[in-house]
A and B are shown apart, each in its own frame.
Chain A
């Protein structure tokens, strides 16, 4: 029997990040990764080596924390290059200098995906912390100068949804033509920010309407990279934006390898597959771990609200990780639907959100 095939593994190089994003899905955001045993570069390479040996990986995504905050990214890129495994990188771009961009260029990574959360310093930094707007722009420009493919990203929140079109114009101005619209999905640290950041159905429709217009006018390629349950609204008016659904349990799944050595269903999920604390342990069989019921049974469990729906097999209720982080389970122990949907359906959750909001979410910088 050959090695099991996996679409992708997101390798979280470090828990550390130079930014302090309010929407961060990492549970270790609070202590900046200090609680993780992820500082040993040799251990990281051993884990990735084991993955390469035991699993047929289509590609990997290097992320964190901020992957460029850790020097281990270079030997890791060497290892992946040697193994001929394509890599792409998610970074905030703020640590990417001319020198780093020049060093990165020969690796020919698929792309580096960088996030801007607003068309101006105030709104972007409202999401990620002060002092990061200009460094991110510099990083993007440096990469483009050195021929690195930059993909943009906007985390669409209740705060920045009204100006998504302007944010996309900024991406276009920078020379980026492909942007991921990562509608905010609360997990990890961000689960506590749900009242402030969760976009409503109207927020999303407003944002996608602007985005679709920009995509058509500017010939930009936009993908909504977080699932939106199709019962929320029709996607067709927002063409050419592309929508998808959660890939866990399908052959499009992207597993997450944490800085602590755990393997998870995705970057947003907090639970280690099979309770395994470090995949580098000699007794861990990765082929068996990938067939753990945490993976294979995932799609069989659907929220009661979604039972009988035409789309249940694909949608599955939206982001199950966000549902677990924010809502927990229903009285029967079943998963609840994605909070982005549930805020409109469940009065208790709606009241909870209203109670946590101490004022208007809109910023003064918005029109």
Chain B
């Protein structure tokens, strides 16, 4: 089997699995998030700008304290400039590492 065939088989199998999961709602039903690596929306050509800590509303969590589903990022890693693309429980569009506690407007799309 060629590399292309391998890739095609892998892609079609993963797609089938994702469709199956979507149909069954299996992950949610058993309390397991079926989207462990669901990314966030992000600008394509560049990374996101550094978080503006100085503009954070009083009491807002800092950028480095933004909840992340991944424990692999050392908390001491410099927080700028970066996009918060770590998996989150809900794959809703959200700004990158901006400490924005108030509800954000929903996606326009």
Q: Is A319 an interface residue (CB 8 A)?
A: yes
Which residues from 341 to 362 on chain A have a C-beta closer than 8 Å to any C-beta of chain B?
A: 341, 344-345, 350
> By the criterion CB–CB under 8 Å, are B49 and A223 in contact?
no
Q: Is A86 an interface residue (CB 8 A)?
A: yes
Which residues from 82 to 97 on chain B have a C-beta closer than 8 Å to any C-beta of chain A?
A: 82-83, 85-86, 91, 93-96
Per the bound structure, the CA–CA distance linking A261 and B93 in Å amounts to 28
Per the bound structure, the CA–CA distance linking A74 and B56 in Å amounts to 29
Chain B residues whose C-beta falls within 8 Å of the C-beta of A227 in the assembled complex? 44
Q: A86-B49, A245-B41 are in contact. Are A200 and B3 (CB under 8 A)?
A: yes
Chain A residues whose C-beta falls within 8 Å of the C-beta of B19 in the assembled complex? 308-310
Chain B residues whose C-beta falls within 8 Å of the C-beta of A244 in the assembled complex? 39-42, 83, 85
The 3 closest A-B pairs by CB, nearest first: A249-B109, A244-B42, A250-B93
Interface residues of A (CB under 8 A from B): 5, 7-8, 10, 58-59, 61, 63, 86, 88, 90, 110-111, 113, 149, 151, 153, 177-178, 180, 182, 185, 200-202, 219, 221, 223, 225-227, 230-236, 239-240, 242-254, 266-268, 291, 295-300, 305, 308-314, 319, 341, 344-345, 350
> By the criterion CB–CB under 8 Å, are B44 and A267 in contact?
yes
> By the criterion CB–CB under 8 Å, are B18 and A309 in contact?
yes
Per the bound structure, the CA–CA distance linking A265 and B93 in Å amounts to 16
Known contacts A223-B42, A299-B107, then 20 further A-B pairs from the complex at CB < 8 Å, ordered by chain A residue: A110-B81, A151-B81, A178-B82, A182-B44, A230-B38, A233-B14, A242-B39, A244-B83, A245-B39, A251-B105, A251-B107, A295-B108, A298-B109, A310-B22, A311-B38, A314-B38, A319-B44, A344-B4, A344-B11, A345-B11
User: Whole-angstrom distance from the CB of A111 to the nearest CB of chain B?
Assistant: 5
Most buried by A among B36, B77, B108: B108
7 A–B pairs (Cβ distance < 8 Å), ordered by A? A8-B43, A177-B78, A219-B77, A240-B73, A251-B95, A252-B96, A311-B35
**What is the number of residues of chain B that contact chain A, defined by CB distance less than 8 Å?**
53
Can you name the residue of chain A whose Cβ is closest to the Cβ of B27?
A: A310
Chain A residues whose C-beta falls within 8 Å of the C-beta of B21 in the assembled complex? 310
> By the criterion CB–CB under 8 Å, are A200 and B7 in contact?
yes
> By the criterion CB–CB under 8 Å, are A236 and B83 in contact?
no
> By the criterion CB–CB under 8 Å, are B22 and A90 in contact?
no
Q: A86-B52, A242-B83, A299-B109 are in contact. Are A151 and B47 (CB under 8 A)?
A: yes
Chain B residues whose C-beta falls within 8 Å of the C-beta of A300 in the assembled complex? 109
Partner of B109, one of A8, A242, A295: A295
